[in-house]
Structure 1
Amino acid sequence: MNSSPSRPHPEHDAFLKRRVLPTLGLFVLIYGAALALDYHINTAVLTITLMVTLCLLKMPVAIALIGAALLGALHGGLTMNEAIATFNENLLTGAQVGMTYVMVGAFAVAIARSGLLDLLARRIASKLDWQEGATNQGVKWSLFLTLMVASVMSQNVVPVHIAFIPVLIPPLLGVMNRLKIDRRAVACILGCFISASYLLLPTGFGAIYLNEILLTNVNDIGQPLGLSVTAAVVPQAMFLPVMGLLVGAVVCIFVSYRQPREYQSVPATELATDAPRRRPNAGQLLATVLAIGAALVCQLLFDSLLVGALVGFMILGLSGVFRWQEQDDVFTEGMRMMAQIAVIITLASGFSGVLGATDEIGSLVAATAELLDGNMMLGAALMLVVGLFITIGFGDSFASVPILAPIYIPLALALGFSPMATVALLGASAALGDAGSPASTITLGATAGLNADGQHDHIRDSVIPMFLHANLGMLLFAWVAAVML
């Protein structure tokens, strides 16, 4: 029986003709006009704009990162061989981080095998009043509070970062559907509270960002210029910017996405992990708590999430939370859950490496400085906006601090900002765009959990809502902090 060649779906043709081709055509036209007029386009601006544009056109994030990096490198004066070599050389750092996320994913799946998360989902579902017309507002707010607490703890107490999302969220999607909760609100809650946790609390990931990266860079660059700050100053400086994140979360819950939203109902058993369902006994609960505690202690002692997750995983395996013979299955499930995120993190390192090799991030910030002419209020605003733009491209606030610090600290001191205001400007500028970047682990993690049934779009339902609610509030409050501190 002969089969006719498959043809593209009509919706595919329509989207291609209405959105993709016109947008790319306009991009090429503007770029060609700039070249014809001998107008220099900053490579960092071009590369990041192209990457974001490709993501908005539903291009896979991995392909958008590679394509934009290579085209930006060519524009910046590198040859194709130099661009590829630079991209490859910078993959190692991302691969190391990606491997950590794989191990953290395995640890998260091992915790899920204990039955704790299923028990939580059943407890929440049991409180629902399924009668027609019931509002179940108490259950809704309990669910929101649970997600807020889990987001904060994932950065500090149980340092699994976003690995808890693909494990905790899918069993709760059925409950969310019955409550008609807009998943964009859930994405914003996750993004805002995860970011707020590591930007304010100096333990776990917060210790890495606030003390090892932000404080170290401020003192290394600032001390020759007469600037020196202590560890106690950093959380105080970041307090107001973090309040902007929390205000963004409040706006998304009570204003932007408070209206009910309909989703197709899918049984929770089809959305949870592949693990066999079992009720946890007292011994398993104790072993799970012990594993979480040991993971936290090891992470603090050895400054390694990889070691902490490994120790926690082994404790759960030895305690019988899952069978010894199931270790390969648990690890493979965790690796599968985090594989996309690990790959994108790896590619994002190559992307940021290419941007750094073009040496035009410094010129972008220098051009911004020329516009300031000593105006502190305008200076704070432009520094924050430039930081937002750069971090959107990297998708990682941890990587943005070392790039911005050599330029931002002398500039802030030259404009007359206080030490605390300088810390707030640098810390917030690097953090802006982390929640809301197409390549950010936060947005990717939210999508991994909320799209378990295929009803949550990465760009429209995770990236854009997080960008608007997490970044705009923090930008405003960080600007106020820079002016007031």
Structure 2
Amino acid sequence: MEWVVLVSVLVLTILSLLRLNVVLALIAAGIVAGVMSGLSFVDTIDLLVSGMGGQANTALSYILLGAFAIAISYTGITGFLVNFVINKLSGKRATILLVIAGIACLSQNAIPVHIAFIPILIPPLLKLFNKMRIDRRAVATALTFGLKAPYVMLPLGFGAIFHGIIVDGLAESGIELTAWDTAFAMLIPGLGMVVGLFVAIFITYRKERDPVKGSGGSGTINVEAIGEEDLTFNKKHLFTIFAIVAALVVQIITQNLILGALAGLLVMFAFLVVPYRNLDKIMADGIGLMGMIAFIMLVASGYGTVLRETGAVDALVEASAGFIGDNQAVIAFILLLVGLLVTMGIGSSFGTIPILVALYVPICVAAGFSPLAIATLIGTAGALGDAGSPASDSTLGPTSGLNADGNHNHIWDTVVPTFIHYNIPLIIFGWIAAMIL
């Protein structure tokens, strides 16, 4: 039983690297996990489908956010941003990438919209990326950094949720820490992500590169048609800004992405920014932009259910505990590798933290780790699921924007680069932090 997670995630990884569709790769990996655990094919599929509802709220919110992004793009307001960037930052590739990373950082804490900004910001910039021959893998790593590092290191916005889950889980085990304590514990692993970002921008992807046409399938936009018109600010653009603000305010007040997206769409149609007759096309284009991400999240949730309900995760950790002995350095390293396997498949740091807390705390307490070191191991293991996983919204989000023209491959242009530049540093810096805290 202890080999189930390892084999299943290995199947998921190999099939994804072979460019099999992520949905099919997740289903195949789920079937492998179920059959190896003693379930029949039918029972495995039933269990996978029953678990898909765990991400239904997220999936619906992504589709509505995609429709909202399409509606905004129809107004032409994003052309102003493109023209500004072209005029101010043309020829400064590293600066553009750092600015994109900074904007993405704001989406987690200061303006908690998560990936909602990507389909609005990135597609209009694709023409600029092509003109400047910016390596889109660098853009993907910049976006993923901004989607992860802020909540890993700061207990604000989405970070408040992330650190709150860790604090609550530790409290149930009798370990009392505050959210700022766990943020301090995650500072060193977070700095590892900073190192990874700089390596990606200034070393790995510093050279010019043209996108591979058709590498991501069929696109939803014509890049060459972006930003050609001479734009003047009008009332439609003003009402579009109102709609964006309304969506943001409603989301912050209700903490609900669905209501935020609906509020934005309602304002745009109420003020006739977008004609009502175009509603069907906007929804269809929104589903085309974000629908695949939404469905991947649903299937990933089902896959995570198969791993949990079959007891495969518990068996893996128990087997690891019996193997690693009482050496803290070895224990920390093995636990991080186990966390990588578990979270790579599920693809959600927020969803796997409760599982990791229940499994890690007994082992860490018995081995004599300090409360801060335990928080570091749990937080780092959870964060590993959001970088380099084919099913993570921190990789799916960047792909949704960068592949709007069909020229960006999810696995090789987003997942592999983010895995190399963030998961590897997270493991190294997380291990160091666990040893010194």
Q: Which of 322, 337, 341 is the matching residue for 2:274?
A: 322
The answer to which of 333-342 and 366-375 deviates more is: 366-375
TM-score, normalization: structure 1?
0.81
- Range moving further from structure 2, 239-248 or 113-122: 113-122
Cα RMSD between the aligned structures? 2.8
Aligned counterpart, 2:195: 247
Q: 2:63·2:294 contact (CA, 8 Å) conserved in 1?
A: yes
Q: For the structure 1 residues 80 and 265, does the alpha-carbon distance in structure 2 shift closer, same or farther, using more than 3 Å as the test?
A: closer
Does the 8 Å contact 1:188/1:462 carry over to 2?
Answer: yes
TM-fit CA distance, 1:191: 1.2
Match of 1:231 among 158, 179, 195: 179
Residue of structure 1 equivalent to 2:131: 178
Q: Indicate the percent of aligned positions where both proteins have the same amino acid.
A: 38
2:107 aligned with 1:146? no
1:271 to 202, 223, 231: 223
Instruction: Indicate if the aligned counterparts of 1:391 and 1:430 stay in contact, CA closer than 8 A.
Output: yes
Any conservation in 1 of the 2:66–2:119 contact (CA below 8 Å)? no
- Contact kept? 1:105, 1:337, Cα under 8 Å: yes
1:376 corresponds to which residue? 328
Displacement of 1:283: 5.2
3-state DSSP of counterpart to 2:390: coil
Name the structure 2 match of 1:261. Answer: 209
**Range moving further from structure 2, 305-314 or 332-341:** 305-314
In 2, Cα distance between the equivalents of 1:426 and 1:204? 20
Whether the aligned pair in 2 keeps the contact of 1:108 and 1:160 (CA below 8 Å) is no
| Of 75-84 and 339-348, the range deviating more from structure 2 | 75-84
Shift of 1:282: 6.8
Pairing partner for 2:381 from 429, 432, 440: 429
Letter of the 1:442 partner, please give it: S
Residue 353 (structure 1) aligned to one of 290, 301, 305: 305
Distance apart, 1:280 and its partner CA: 6.5
Cα deviation for residue 436 of structure 1 reads: 0.8
Is 1:155–1:161's contact at 8 Å kept on the other side of the alignment? yes
| Structure 2 partner of 1:94 | 55
Task: Give SS of 1:90's match.
Answer: helix
Q: Contact 2:186–2:380 at 8 Å: present in 1 too? A: yes
Of 241, 257, 260, the match for 1:308: 260
Aligned residue in 1 for 2:69: 108
Cα deviation for residue 452 of structure 1 reads 3.1
Cα distance in 1 for residues equivalent to 2:22 and 2:86: 35
The answer on 1:362 being equivalent to 2:314 is yes
| Residue equivalent to 1:28 | none
Residue 29 of structure 2 is aligned to residue 68 of structure 1: yes
Distance (Å, rounded) in 1 between the aligned partners of 2:318 and 2:113: 38
- In structure 2, how many angstroms separate the alpha carbons of the residues matched to 1:280 and 1:306? 31
Unaligned runs of 5+ in 2: 215-219
Equivalent pair of 1:404/1:430 in contact (CA under 8 Å): yes
Once the 2 structures are TM-superposed, how far is the Cα of residue 86 of structure 1 from its aligned partner? 0.9
Counterparts of 2:268 and 2:228, CA distance in 1:
16
- Contact 2:69 / 2:119 at 8 angstroms: preserved in 1? no
Shift of 1:303: 2.8
User: How far off is 1:150 after superposition?
Assistant: 2.3
Aligned to 1:47: 8
Cα 1:338–1:365, aligned 2, differ >3 Å: closer, same or farther? same
Distance 1:321-1:197 versus aligned 2 partners, 3 A rule:
farther
Q: 1:163 to 1:296 in 2, by over 3 A?
A: closer
> What per-residue deviation string (whole Å, max 9, x for no partner) do you get for residues 339-392 of structure 1?
000111001111111111220211211222223322222221111111111111
What is the SS of the residue equivalent to 1:202?
Answer: coil
Which residue pairs with 1:123 in the alignment? Answer: 84
Bigger drift between 179-188 and 343-352 goes to 179-188
Distance in 2 (CA, whole Å) between partners of 1:386 and 1:418 is: 20
**Count of residue correspondences:** 432
Q: For 1:50-71, what per-residue CA distance to the aligned partner results, in whole angstroms no more than 9, with x for missing partners?
A: 1111111111111111122112
Secondary structure of the 1:433 match is helix
Using a 3 Å threshold, how does the CA distance of structure 1 residues 216 and 288 change in structure 2: closer, same or farther? farther
Instruction: Determine the structure 2 residue equivalent to 1:453.
Output: 405
TM-score (norm 2): 0.90
Give yes or no for the alignment of 1:164 onto 2:120.
no
Q: Which residue of 1 aligns with 2:414?
A: 462
Q: Mark the runs of 5 or more structure 1 residues left unpaired by the alignment.
A: 1-39, 130-135
- Alpha-carbon distance change, 194 to 399 in structure 1, aligned in 2, over 3 angstroms: same
SS in 1 for 2:357: helix
Q: Which residue of the partner structure matches residue 295 of structure 1?
A: 247
Deviations along 1:295-327, whole A, 9 cap, x unmatched? 344334333222222223323333444334444
Q: Would you say 1:218 and 2:179 are equivalent positions?
A: no
CA contact (8 A) 2:75 2:274 kept: yes
- How far 1:198 moved relative to its partner? 2.5
SS, match of residue 44 in structure 1:
helix
